[in-house]
């Protein structure tokens, strides 16, 4: 392990700072060596950190037990940093790319194309599986990688559909590997580890909190050529991923449905706002051939 990579993993685990501050440190000190020589007050001054945060950060920088914990985690999990050759190129181009990723499973999937994120409501209608069987299954059978967030509902359906058809899938979590959420998806988590890839930018002992889920969504959309919304209510958190996909220059697709169902109202709003209406796999395949190949292979 290179010294820079080792320091980045360590600093990423320290409390008291954000990814924005880590990027600032990297900008001022590309070796990440100098930060270890600074006092709390110097860190506070140089990086405009509140003294309380600088003190917490400084303590973690020199905390022996934290270094030992990182060493144990490196023996158990794959860790991919933004300075590694194995870091997925598609993520480097997004706003606020993850600096460190923890992985379980087949990490070669990080560079696999074509990939589609499939997302939607946690409370799908009875038609949702039929929609996915009609649109997503043929893509899986044509070797598309499916990316989702392992939540209940559409996310779980997407992973299971891929696994059930010997396809490729990546799950991006909103917490560390020691805190699988939701708990009813522990068996699904184990299947994806065995047959696909599970990713998290959160260290293994990090419990999920509410803001992690919209935060991790930028990784779900960032790994994919496009984002397909199967069902979403009008105020669905799914629409956060859609906004991030648009911000990243990714394609956005929505499946229409009955105007009487609340689970379709978000999709209909997306279509009115300019998302591409999808009623068969060809609607996505044609975009990959005409847009995606040129964009993702250059």
Answer yes or no: is pLDDT of 153 > 70.
yes
State the residue for tokens 């589609």: 116
Query: If you average pLDDT over every residue of the chain, what do you get?
Result: 94
- 113-140: average pLDDT: 96
Structure-block tokens of residue 31: 């070796």
Give percent of the chain with pLDDT exceeding 90.
Answer: 90
Which band of pLDDT confidence, cut at 50, 70 and 90, is reported for residue 237? confident
**222, 80, 96, 55 alpha-carbon torsion, rounded to 10°:** 150
State the residue for tokens 């394609």: 251
CA geometry: angle 283, 106, 90, nearest 5 deg: 50
- 84-108: average pLDDT: 95
pLDDT of 143 reads 97
Structure-block tokens of residue 71: 């060493």
**Cα–Cα distance between 210 and 216 in angstroms, integer?**
11
**What tens digit of pLDDT does each residue of 197-213 get?**
999 999 999 999 999 99
pLDDT of 53 reads 97
**What tens digit of pLDDT does each residue of 18-41 get?**
999 999 999 999 999 999 999 999
In the DSSP assignment, the letter for residue 70 is H
Which band of pLDDT confidence, cut at 50, 70 and 90, is reported for residue 240? confident
pLDDT of 297 reads 56
Q: Which stretches within the chain are classed as H helix?
A: 3-13, 19-28, 40-46, 51-61, 64-76, 89-92, 128-141, 154-164, 186-195, 212-222, 238-247, 262-272, 282-287, 293-296
Answer yes or no: is pLDDT of 252 > 80.
yes
Q: Do 258 and 226 touch, CB atoms closer than 8 A?
A: no
pLDDT of 1 reads 59
pLDDT of 298 reads 54
**What tens digit of pLDDT does each residue of 118-129 get?**
999 999 999 999
Structure-block tokens of residue 58: 């400084």
Class of domain 103-296: alpha beta
- 134-163: average pLDDT: 98
Label residue 294 exposed, middle or buried (CB < 10 Å: 0-12, 13-18, 19+): exposed
Structure-block tokens of residue 34: 């100098």
Q: Report domain extents, the chain.
A: 3-76, 103-296
pLDDT of 54 reads 97
């Amino acid at each position: 392990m290179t010294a820079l990579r080792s320091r980045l993993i360590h600093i990423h685990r320290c409390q008291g700072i954000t990814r924005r501050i880590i990027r600032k440190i990297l900008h001022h000190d590309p070796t990440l060596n100098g930060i270890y020589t600074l006092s709390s007050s110097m860190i506070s001054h140089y990086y405009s950190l509140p003294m309380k945060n600088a003190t917490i950060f400084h303590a973690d920088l020199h905390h022996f037990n934290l270094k030992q914990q990182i060493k144990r985690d490196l023996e158990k999990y794959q860790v991919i940093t933004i300075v590694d050759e194995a870091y997925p190129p598609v993520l480097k181009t997004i706003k606020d790319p993850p600096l460190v990723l923890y992985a379980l499973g087949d990490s070669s999937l990080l560079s696999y194309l074509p990939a589609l994120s499939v997302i939607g409501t946690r409370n799908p209608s009875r038609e949702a599986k039929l929609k996915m069987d009609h649109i997503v299954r043929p893509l899986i059978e044509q070797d598309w990688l499916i990316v989702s967030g392992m939540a209940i509902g559409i996310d779980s359906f997407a992973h299971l559909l891929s696994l059930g058809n010997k396809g490729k899938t990546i799950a991006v979590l909103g917490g560390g590997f020691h805190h699988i959420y939701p708990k009813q998806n522990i068996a699904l988590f184990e299947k994806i580890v065995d047959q696909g890839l599970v990713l998290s930018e959160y260290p293994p002992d990090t419990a999920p909190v509410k803001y992690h889920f919209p935060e991790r969504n930028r990784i779900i959309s960032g790994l994919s050529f496009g984002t397909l919304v199967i069902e979403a209510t009008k105020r669905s958190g799914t629409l956060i991923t859609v906004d991030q996909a648009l911000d990243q220059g990714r394609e956005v697709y929505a499946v229409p449905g009955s105007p009487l169902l609340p689970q379709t109202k978000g999709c209909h709003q997306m279509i009115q706002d300019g998302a591409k209406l999808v009623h068969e796999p060809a609607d996505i395949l044609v975009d990959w051939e005409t847009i995606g190949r040129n964009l993702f292979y250059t």
